[in-house]
Amino acid sequence: MREEIIGTIPQADGEVVLEIALMHDEAGRTMVELRYLVWGRELGWYRQQTLTLDGTMASQLLCRLSSVRHRLRSKSDTKHWTNVLAFPRRRPQHMATGPGMTTTGQRRIEAQSVSGRG
């Protein structure tokens, strides 16, 4: 049996990793092994658990994991755009202002100055 290590995924504490390996047998089949490795001071990395999956099971696992990816993200992981300006909200109709209008939407009557000069 030939082993091909695809990668390792460390946990936050650095004491545990998940190792992903492909196992190729003499018949041409490929299995996926998920190995839970723990760091021991005197031992180094050692396997705590191993889960072996055939191709069908590995494909189904990938589908399930991708469908729950968004659930694993915390609110703080989402990007907050600081360089985007929000559009101003549309004013309600009764708050519309324009030339000759007051803030309540009523027509403003302006006093005209009467001047003797013409």
Residue 115 counted as domain residue: no
Residue 76 counted as domain residue: no
Nearest of 18, 21, 31, 19 to residue 58 by alpha carbon: 31
Residue 32 counted as domain residue: yes
Residue 38 counted as domain residue: yes
Residue 110 counted as domain residue: no
For the chain, how many structural domains are there in total? 1
Residue 28 counted as domain residue: yes
Tens-binned pLDDT, residue by residue, of the chain (118 aa):
899 999 999 998 889 999 999 999 999 999 999 999 999 999 999 999 999 999 999 999 999 988 888 777 765 555 655 666 666 666 655 555 555 555 555 555 555 545 555 5
Q: What distance in Å separates the CA atoms of residue 51 and residue 105, rounded to the nearest whole number? A: 72
Q: What is the residue range of 41's domain?
A: 2-67
Residue 31 counted as domain residue: yes
Element (H, E) at 48: strand 44-53
CATH for 26: 3.10.450
Q: What is the pTM of this model?
A: 0.58
